[in-house]
């Protein structure tokens, strides 16, 4: 193992329990209610705020690509929630995050292609006005910027986000939830 890999592994061992290519991270929260967004939805659905997913994304970003991640979510006080109910809420919210990601990617694709189309139309207009040098230059530059931003949005940003989402999905091997007293039973 190279010196840089040893240093990286020493740093990671401060935050993760590492066995082979599997890293285990404990995320500890005082109450399950602190993970809930009280301003979203009604009684029939509990939407989590971004705290848990932000912690998960950060954990995945710290690990080398070849690693799998086991998450142990420890809730000190479930409060009015049952453990099984919390597991179901987290599962539903994972689906919701996936849905949101797919929807945002479609919107970026549509917006990107719209900008590309607008930019192409502006570029055609600039060539129609090529006799007027100043207008030609201004319109040509703005059309080029529209096309550039459209390509960036439709292809580059979207592909980077898709790659990050796939990496996140492949990295998580297991998620367990337990109460503070449950971990002492094992």
- DSSP type of residue 67: -
Per-residue model confidence as pLDDT tens digits over 78-103: 888 888 888 888 888 888 887 888 88
20: its two tokens: 């082979």
| Residue 174: band (very low, low, confident or very high) from pLDDT cuts 50, 70, 90 | confident
Tell which residue, 46, 38, 118, 55, has the closest CA to residue 82.
46
User: What is the pLDDT at residue 181?
Assistant: 59
CB 97 within 8 A of CB 47: no
pLDDT of residue 98: 79
pTM: 0.65
Residue range 12-58, pLDDT digits in tens: 888 888 888 888 888 899 988 888 887 776 666 678 888 888 888 88
Where along the chain do its domains lie? Answer: 3-185
Output 80-85 pairs: Cβ under 8 A, ≥24 positions apart: 80/33, 81/32, 81/33, 83/177, 83/178, 83/179, 83/182
């Amino acid at each position: 193992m190279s010196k840089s890999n040893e240093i990286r592994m020493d740093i990671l061992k401060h935050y993760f329990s590492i066995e082979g290519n599997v890293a285990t991270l404990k995320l500890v929260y005082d109450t399950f209610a602190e993970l809930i967004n009280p301003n979203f939805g009604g009684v029939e659905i509990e939407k989590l705020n971004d705290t848990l997913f932000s912690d998960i994304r950060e954990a995945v970003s710290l690990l080398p690509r070849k690693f799998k991640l086991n998450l142990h979510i420890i809730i000190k006080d479930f409060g009015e929630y049952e453990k099984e109910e919390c597991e179901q809420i987290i599962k539903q919210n994972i689906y919701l995050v996936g849905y949101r990601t797919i929807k945002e990617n479609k919107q970026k694709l549509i917006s990107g292609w719209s900008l590309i189309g607008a930019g192409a139309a502006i570029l055609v207009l600039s060539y129609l006005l090529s006799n007027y040098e100043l207008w030609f230059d201004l319109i040509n530059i703005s059309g080029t910027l529209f096309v550039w931003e459209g390509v960036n949005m439709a292809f580059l940003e979207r592909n980077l986000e898709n790659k990050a989402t796939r990496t996140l999905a492949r990295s998580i091997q297991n998620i367990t939830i337990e109460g503070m007293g449950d971990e002492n039973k094992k």
